[in-house]
Structure 1
Amino acid sequence: MSTDDELTAALPRALDGAAALAPDPVHERLAAGARRSGLRRQRRHVAAATGALAVAVLGAAAGFSAAGYGRSGADAPAASRHVRMSEQRFNELLTRLLPKGTLQPMDRAWTGGRDPHEMGSMLVFDDGAGASMLQIQVQYTGDPVDRVTCVDGFDVPSEGCERTVQPDGSVLVVDRLRSVSVPGLREWHGIWAAPDGRQVRLTEYNGRASTPVRDAPPLTEAQLAALVTSPLWTEAFAALTPVADAPDAGAPADARPSLSAEGSAALLDKLTPLLPAGTAVDVRDPAHTRLGLTADGRHSSLMVTYEPPSQRGLDELAALPQTLPTPLEVREPLPGGGTVVVNAFGNGKTATDVLLHWVVTVHYPDGAVLLLDEWNGEQFHAAAPGTPALDLAALKAVALSPSWRS
């Protein structure tokens, strides 16, 4: 596979992973701050584990300080001239932090100069045990550190995650994820986030694109932690501009950000009486706003997401006519304005060979969005083929109930 083809194949996964680790509202998917099936979720799942071959952050945090990794990243630059950093210089810094080996940038992957708040790249690192892809990003964000968390193992298979709050209030996350679709493929994420908005993220794979070539990625958890917390990144931050809405640097880093359990419970309370007659509720899971259902001997999970009216919702509704539908997607205008979208897909929004998700999305005219996502199985990442408990017609009837707006 050529380098260009490899980059094309890798970028969607990299963006998904970054999304999975990215906090609300930066998101992105899969992820928490994230959306299910393309819909941005309002809250982020927090557990002891960051999501599944999606891509973006990465243990033994207690050992990091003892081993010399206790420095919480680069000191915040004072008055910076914001001199642009070259790709060559960035790669020199990265090479100093990597184990012995060769580093090869991927074509057109360097992002320095495109955005004054971030720089990064995708590269191939070979330590002699198998060439592996790396994704690195150094950035200023407006995200509070309490939103930098492990991805929920409900979303993506995880082999373990450690989240540590450093003495200066910064946060270190080391996460080890497995691919749902590629046997043996692993991605490990490391992220260091400071209260003033500085972040360093590294994602490493045990191969290139979708081909694992070794058992584990090249950097150990300790090496990954040392890389993202290194003071060498001070030089890179000095070439960047802090975001205007940087978080309060004095705000404490809460190791367990609060979730709206009340909101989740209320959604499930509203969903339950709308289910078709004869549908049994076997599981009530407020942590994921999910019900386990049984109907005619068929078992499925049904998750509900609701976003109140917003400009983003209005923009999405306005953009629907210009957006190509996926193969099984059906859109219908609502009598009072808005659109209902009914869809089914497999491992990807365009996959139809084996269906894994049955989804109904209601875009209300005021910008509110309701999403119902049904799949066979308990965990989101382990959706299985088969006939779901509720068909799309029943799911659509539930979604169009006026009770959601009362």
Structure 2
Amino acid sequence: MPVEEHDPFEDQFASALRQTGGTFESHPLGLAARGESRGRTIRRRRAVIAGGVTGVALVGLGGALVLPGIQADGGQRHSVAGSPSAPAAPPARPSALSADDLVRTLEGLLPKGKFSDEDGRGTGERLPPYARVVYDDGKGKAAVAVMVDRVRPGSSHALETTACPDKVFVPYDACTSGRLADGSALMILQGYEYPDRRVATKLWSAELITPKGQHISVQEWNAPAEKDAPVSRSRPPLSPDQLKALAGADAWRSVADAVPADPRVPTTEPSRPQGVPGGSVSATLATLLPKGAEVVKKGVADPGFGYVVLDDGKGASMVQVNVQADMSGVAGQLFGSGSKTLPDGTRVATHQGPGEKGGRGVVMWTVDTMRPDGRRVVISAFNSGAQHTPATREAPALTPKQMEAIATSEKWFRRG
């Protein structure tokens, strides 16, 4: 899997996991696919929400919340149930909103039903505000959650958050991504809690980012909890159109405006690490494959990460590569006693183990290489066409020797 870039926004979620009882530890290889980044962000956001649920229950209030600075008869309330909203002038920026405020906002925006197991976090805390309820419309209990934060408009994080993920990394039934009339980017994903679908828990979500950088994330399940709860209905309660309405409610934008600015988030887009000069990792990888390996799928053009799915007649096998420059600072963590050094000074470490995404019988072979000047190429191969699907063959299509030859090729850093 490709190597993650440092993203200050992801630091927030990692910090949130540590503080709410979740666990996030980066693997020494630092591996996480760009195509998987959407799913990873959703899981971290979900962990932030889920981490504070245990042992906390707020009193259920079925009425709509009147946010500070918003008049009850003039608020811009958008109901998922389709009730009309009266126009009003933009409210004054609220100084702070409590967890109870957010929970009541969520309940007021959902169609008529019963609520239980309410939980939330207000805007005055260091971690992102959220609201979570168990909602029952008479067809079975379902967890529904909303988290609100702010992102830098037009940043790579914003673009990735509202783009449909690659099915090679994140399985789903349907996904739409586009822009609303006001310029907001919206992505609606109908997927699953578990990538390998070992249980029938569905996860549907909406990610909305406004031109001002207000970010509203909505998740819903067809069970009263995202994990370890029996499925209570065939599908989550809100349709894609209702998810769109809930994410687009003006009340959440007021919540986002009340979130204190994080001084750790830079005001300009950080430069991305240089990868293949002027090229695509997927395309370069395809030229380095051994003869007889037919490419049946190839990743999009990206100078830092790419993948291909091979089929040599013995079953599908995914191969992915990450290319980075100036990684000398982590060499000590990546190349231990089991690694070797080639005559030109390139360090090589080989790893073999199970795949990480739950596909039955999936194994992952990885060859990690670093040139003396810190240029790094990591290649991983699987015995399946995707990490979350069952194994299609006994071993990956490439041998460790072939993978080393690919990773140490000069093509990765050749200009022109």
Q: TM-score range by the shorter chain?
A: 0.5 to 0.7
The answer for unaligned runs of 5 or more in structure 2 is 12-26, 47-77
Q: Does 1:186 align with 2:199?
A: no
- Alpha carbons of structure 1 residues 400 and 136: separation in structure 2 relative to 1, 3 Å: same
Q: In the TM superposition, what are the counterparts of 1:164-203 in structure 2 within 5 Å?
A: 164-178=178-192, 179-181=194-196, 182-203=198-219
Structure-2 residue corresponding to 1:136: 146
CA deviations 1:343-400 (Å, max 9, x no partner) are 3343527x89933322223355655442212223434543525222123343234323
| CA–CA distance in structure 1, aligned partners of residues 104 and 179 of structure 2 | 29
- Output aligned runs, 1:1-400, within 5 Å: 38-41=30-33, 55=43, 80=93, 83-99=95-111, 100-105=113-118, 110=121, 112-115=123-126, 118-144=128-154, 146-147=159-160, 148-178=162-192, 179-181=194-196, 182-207=198-223, 208=225, 209-210=227-228, 211-242=230-261, 245=266, 266-268=280-282, 270-272=284-286, 274-276=288-290, 279-283=292-296, 285-287=298-300, 289-294=306-311, 297=314, 299-309=316-326, 313=327, 316-317=330-331, 332=339, 334=341, 340-348=348-356, 354-363=361-370, 368-384=375-391, 386-400=394-408
Cα displacement string for residues 172-192 of structure 1 (whole angstroms, at most 9, x for unaligned residues): 221101333323221001121
- Looking at structure 1, the residues matched to 365 and 285 of structure 2 have their Cα atoms a distance apart, in angstroms, of 16
Q: Could you tell me how far 1:93 is from its partner in structure 2?
A: 1.1
Give yes or no for contact 1:52–1:155 (8 Å, CA) kept in 2.
Answer: no
Q: Normalization by structure 2: what TM-score?
A: 0.64
User: Shift in Å at residue 70 of structure 1?
Assistant: 12
- Bigger shift: 293-302 or 86-95? 293-302
Structure 1 stretches lacking a partner, 5+ long: 1-19, 29-34, 58-63, 249-259
SS, match of residue 212 in structure 1: coil
Q: Which has the larger radius of gyration?
A: 2
* Structure-1 residue corresponding to 2:14: none
Residue type of the alignment partner of 1:291: V
Cα–Cα, structure 1 residues 318 and 126, in superposed 2: closer, same or farther, change >3 Å? farther
Q: 1: CA distance between counterparts of 2:298 and 2:110?
A: 42
Please list the CA deviations of residues 113-157 of structure 1 after superposition, one character each: whole Å capped at 9, or x if unmatched.
4437x3225543344433333332101112425442122223222
Once superposed, what is the RMSD of the aligned Cα atoms?
4.6
Q: Secondary structure at the match of 1:404?
A: helix
Please say if residues 141 and 232 of structure 2, whose CA atoms lie closer than 8 Å, have aligned partners that are also in contact.
yes
After TM superposition, the structure 1 stretch with the greater mean CA deviation from structure 2, 379-388 or 179-188, is 379-388
Deviation at 1:273, TM superposition (A): 5.5
In the superposition, relative to structure 1, how do residues 138 and 292 fare at CA in structure 2: closer, same or farther (>3 Å)? Answer: closer
Cα shift readout 1:64-91 (whole Å, capped 9, x = no counterpart) = 99x96999xx99877x4x6232211111
Q: For the Cα contact (< 8 Å) 1:206–1:212, is it kept in 2?
A: yes
Q: CA deviation at 1:52?
A: 9.6
Does the 8 Å CA contact 1:140/1:241 hold for their aligned counterparts? no
Which amino acid counterpart does residue 193 of structure 1 have in structure 2?
Answer: I
CA contact (8 A) 1:197 1:242 kept: no
Deviations 1:178-208 (A, max 9, x none): 3333232210011211112111001111122
| Secondary structure of 2:339 counterpart | strand
Structure 2 vs 1, CA of residues 294 and 194 (structure 1 numbering), >3 Å: closer, same or farther?
A: closer
Cα 1:153–1:268 shift into 2, 3 Å:
closer
Deviation at 1:265, TM superposition (A): 6.0
On the 8 A contact 1:164/1:171 being kept in 2, the answer is: yes
- Indicate how the Cα distance of structure 1 residues 316 and 168 shifts in structure 2: closer, same or farther if over 3 A, else same: farther
- How many pairs does the alignment contain? 338
**More contact order relative to length (CA 8 Å, sep ≥ 6):** 1
1:165 is aligned with what amino acid? R
Q: Is the Cα–Cα contact under 8 Å of residues 69 and 225 in structure 1 kept in the other structure?
A: no
Query: What are the superposed Cα offsets for residues 22-48 of structure 1, whole Å, 9 maximum, x if unpaired?
Result: x988569xxxxxx9x85245x6589xx
